[in-house]
């Protein structure tokens, strides 16, 4: 009797280890029992004489980044595939469930060779375990899902940037099988999306998704292809604060020179150069993060027009300065006591810009012979010196109204053209 505790201490751990070993062996044995049925080969498609339809669908976890410079976007999602394999029909051991979960079953059974045609790079998630799942139903239907983060190319058209709407595709295609063997079809719900993931797009607003069929013919045959087009509309808030408001204020600042005195050349020239250089630097900063495309973008039209307005304000002062120095100059009158003969009326008209013909005839006496016509010396007219500056002030007054009016008209045309017409 004294040996019973010692025997129990030996038998109990041995029984526990044997049970754990049996459980570890049972699951692989169950997979092998299903997969090896009827000489199963994972290299052969389910229907050798027919077409295997593979259902495709995704559940979007979130959009992580959309880049105009590299023309791609990053997305996290669950990739779901579903197909029927008659070779995997079986009788479930657990009558409470109608499917069998299998770890790493994708290494044992046939799986579709689906790939992303526009993929740049992708990552399988393996924390804390490998994020894949395989379910095999008793009728042979297989459900295969995995978690992926992928960066996909998105050919963008930036002619309306930053008032644009982009369409970014996700293209699924069978790599080695033709449409005679494997055909991709959509699940009942091709695209599902987490509403919280829409908040992860700071510069875009998710509009909708459009499923398409993109089956193509290659030299090896026709390959089944499906595509999802994500419609993303760019949010204008960021660009309104960082682009449009600063450029509008710079243009308005250039109009301040119209209220500065014509004689204050340093102030007006400095203000004009400052606004031109600031607008140029602002335009360079905006285009730094954009690809070098060969067509004109909406932002190019805006920045070029604003630069043209501030440059025109600088050129306006150059025109005003020249106008202020152009004066009406009177030619000198004939000296007093000069003999004036008949027929010299036209002479007096050419040599004087201020006297009328009657005054000249009165001064000459209107006689026929030679007459000594004393002409009083005239004092310089101060109004003549002010004619140029007066003209310059009038030009400034016209510019104070014409420049803002032209800028308002440009804004109306710009926003209507790029938001309503295009």
How confident is the model over 330-342, as pLDDT tens digits?
455 555 555 444 4
The values of phi and psi at residue 276, to 5°, are: -65, -45
Q: What percent of the chain has a predicted confidence (pLDDT) above 70? A: 73
Q: What is the mean pLDDT of residues 355-366?
A: 45
Confidence of residue 387 (pLDDT cuts 50, 70, 90): confident
pLDDT digits (tens, 9 = 90+) for 3-61: 656 655 666 566 665 555 544 444 444 566 666 555 678 888 888 788 999 999 999 99
| pLDDT for the residue numbered 325 | 81
In the predicted structure, residue 414 carries a pLDDT above the cut 70: yes
In the predicted structure, residue 97 carries a pLDDT above the cut 70: no
| pLDDT for the residue numbered 344 | 46
Cβ atoms of 78 and 61 within 8 Å: the answer is yes
Q: What percent of the chain has a predicted confidence (pLDDT) above 90? A: 50
| pLDDT for the residue numbered 402 | 96
Q: How far is CA 314 from CA 169, 251, 270, 371, 399, in A?
A: 47, 11, 9, 57, 12
In the predicted structure, residue 88 carries a pLDDT above the cut 90: no
Cβ atoms of 336 and 374 within 8 Å: the answer is yes
Q: What is the mean pLDDT of residues 378-383?
A: 50
In the predicted structure, residue 363 carries a pLDDT above the cut 70: no
In the predicted structure, residue 322 carries a pLDDT above the cut 80: yes
pLDDT digits (tens, 9 = 90+) for 137-176: 888 899 999 999 999 999 999 999 999 999 999 999 999 8
**Nearest-angstrom CA–CA distance, 413 and 42:** 64
| pLDDT for the residue numbered 42 | 84
- Among residues 261, 399, 272, 385, the alpha carbon closest in space to that of 321 is found at 261
- What rounded mean pLDDT belongs to the chain? 81
pTM for this prediction: 0.73
pLDDT digits (tens, 9 = 90+) for 223-277: 999 999 999 999 999 999 999 999 999 999 999 999 999 889 899 999 999 999 9
**Angle ∠(95,98,102) on CA atoms, nearest 5:** 105
Q: How far is CA 166 from CA 51, 74, 182, 293, 388, in A?
A: 36, 14, 31, 16, 56
**Nearest-angstrom CA–CA distance, 233 and 167:** 9
Cβ atoms of 343 and 319 within 8 Å: the answer is no
In the predicted structure, residue 75 carries a pLDDT above the cut 90: yes
In the predicted structure, residue 327 carries a pLDDT above the cut 70: no
| pLDDT for the residue numbered 102 | 64
Say which residue, 17 or 354, is predicted with more confidence: 17
């Amino acid at each position: 009797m004294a040996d019973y505790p010692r025997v129990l201490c030996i038998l109990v751990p041995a029984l526990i280890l044997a049970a754990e070993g049996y459980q570890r062996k049972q699951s692989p044995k169950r997979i092998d029992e299903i997969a090896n049925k009827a000489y199963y080969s994972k290299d052969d498609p389910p229907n050798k004489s027919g077409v295997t339809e593979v259902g495709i669908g995704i559940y979007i976890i979130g959009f992580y980044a959309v880049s105009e410079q590299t023309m791609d976007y990053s997305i996290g999602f669950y990739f779901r595939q579903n197909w029927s394999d008659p070779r995997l029909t079986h009788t479930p051991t657990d009558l409470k469930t109608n499917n069998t979960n299998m770890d790493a079953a994708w290494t044992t059974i046939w799986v579709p060779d689906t790939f992303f045609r526009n993929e740049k790079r992708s990552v399988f998630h393996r924390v804390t375990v490998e994020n894949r799942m395989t379910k095999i139903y008793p009728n042979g239907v297989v459900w295969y899902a995995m978690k992926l983060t992928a960066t996909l190319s998105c050919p963008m058209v930036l002619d309306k940037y930053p008032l644009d709407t982009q369409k970014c595709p996700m293209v699924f295609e069978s790599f080695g099988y033709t449409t005679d063997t494997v055909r991709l079809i959509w699940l009942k719900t091709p695209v599902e999306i987490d509403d919280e993931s829409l908040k992860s797009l700071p510069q875009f607003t998710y509009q909708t998704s459009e499923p398409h069929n993109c089956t193509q013919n290659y030299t090896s045959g026709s390959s089944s292809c499906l595509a999802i087009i994500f419609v993303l509309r760019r949010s204008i808030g960021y660009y309104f604060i960082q682009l449009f408001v600063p450029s509008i204020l710079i243009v308005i600042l250039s109009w301040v020179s119209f209220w500065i005195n014509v004689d204050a050349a340093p102030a007006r020239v400095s203000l004009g150069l400052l606004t031109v250089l600031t607008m140029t630097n602002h335009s360079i900063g905006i285009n730094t993060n954009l690809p070098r495309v060969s067509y004109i973008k909406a932002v190019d039209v805006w920045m070029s027009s604003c630069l043209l307005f501030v440059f025109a304000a600088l050129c306006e002062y150059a025109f005003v300065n020249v106008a202020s120095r152009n004066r009406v100059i009177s030619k000198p009158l004939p000296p007093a006591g000069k003999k004036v003969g008949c027929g010299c009326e036209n002479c007096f008209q050419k040599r004087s810009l201020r006297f009328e013909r009657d005054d000249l005839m009165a001064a000459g006496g209107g006689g026929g012979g030679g007459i000594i016509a004393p002409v009083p010396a005239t004092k310089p007219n101060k109004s003549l010196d002010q004619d140029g500056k007066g003209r310059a002030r009038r030009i400034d007054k016209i510019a104070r109204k014409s420049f803002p009016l032209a800028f308002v008209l440009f804004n109306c045309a710009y926003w209507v053209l790029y938001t309503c017409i295009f």
